[in-house]
Amino acid sequence: MNLEARLLYRDAMVLIIDKPAGIAVHAGPRDGSANLMQWLDQLRFGLPRAPELAHRLDRDTSGCLVLGRHRKALARLGELFAGSSVDKVYWAVVVGRPQADQGLIEAPLKKLERRHGWRMIVDPKGQPSATRWRVLGGDQRLTWIEARPLTGRTHQIRVHLASIGLPLAGDAVYGRGTGDLEASRLHLHARSISLPFTPKKPPITATAPVPDHMAELLRRCGWSDTEPTEN
């Protein structure tokens, strides 16, 4: 994979790349498949070490992924992500039509361990979690959603939207069954990110192009494809 071609932002401290869907950021404990760590050395740009991840995206989520180029940068990025100072915007296509045009989902999330794997569930004993959302478009069956996670829990957007009857298209884990998924791949994209990295300076910002696998359903929902897709 040519990660340099997927570079959205670069300075002396921070890189932001457009992560492709279907690639894990880390190797799993029993997973020998390809992961993003294998290609990060391409992004050293003269530094002695490869950049490191400042946060994570799910394997099947595409879009803006932030990397720190050295320890000082990673420490600052860690503060920003831990303090909920990062503005993250996701685009999702969901199955169903909400009654309102926008809302705030506040539902604690907990990891449920199972014999053959795990999943996240809404549980009063879970970690506090909040997602703000609004409708950007849709048709009779699908809705194009902008989601802004106010916390950073695993699978948060997927579980929260499913909990209000709006499972993501292509989500075989939290969807309502294969007949309702509308797509074979998850339709969740980290569209943009804004980092107030240096006080008294404008934030670092980046926007990731729509991935090819989401373009068709987004068009059905009213998205204009005058901008290029990822190709």
Distance separating alpha carbons of residues 22 and 123, to the nearest angstrom? 28
pLDDT at 83: 86
Beta bridge partners of 111: 120
The verdict on pTM exceeding 0.85 is yes
**Amino acid letter, 168:** L
What top-level class would CATH report for the domain 4-220? alpha beta
Query: How distant, in Å, are the alpha carbons of 196, 221, 225, 228 from that of 83?
Result: 11, 34, 35, 34
**Amino acid letter, 120:** M
Q: Which residue has the higher pLDDT, 177 or 179?
A: 177
Helices marked H in 44-139 — which ranges?
Answer: 71-82
How do beta strands 188-195 and 62-68 pair?
A: parallel
φ, ψ of residue 70 in degrees (nearest 5)? -160, 180
- Indicate the pLDDT class of residue 230, thresholds 50, 70 and 90: low
Q: What is the dihedral of CA 97, 224, 216, 67, to 10 degrees?
A: -90
Give the count of beta carbons closer than 10 Å to the beta carbon of residue 226.
Answer: 5
- The owner of tokens 């831990």 is 82
pLDDT at 178: 44
Catalytic residues: 58
In contact, 119 and 112? CB cutoff 8 Å = yes
pLDDT at 33: 76
Distance separating alpha carbons of residues 219 and 231, to the nearest angstrom? 16
Structure tokens, 21: 């869907």
Q: What is the mean pLDDT of residues 77-85?
A: 92
The closest alpha carbon to 3, from 25, 19, 26, 14, belongs to 19
Mean pLDDT of the chain, nearest integer: 92
Query: 85-104 burial by CB neighbour count: b if 16+ within 10 A, else e?
Result: ebebbbbbbbbbebeeeeee
Q: What is the mean pLDDT of residues 137-149?
A: 96
Q: What is the mean pLDDT of residues 130-159?
A: 96
First and final CA of the chain: distance in angstroms? 13
pLDDT at 183: 78
The closest alpha carbon to 42, from 4, 84, 11, belongs to 4
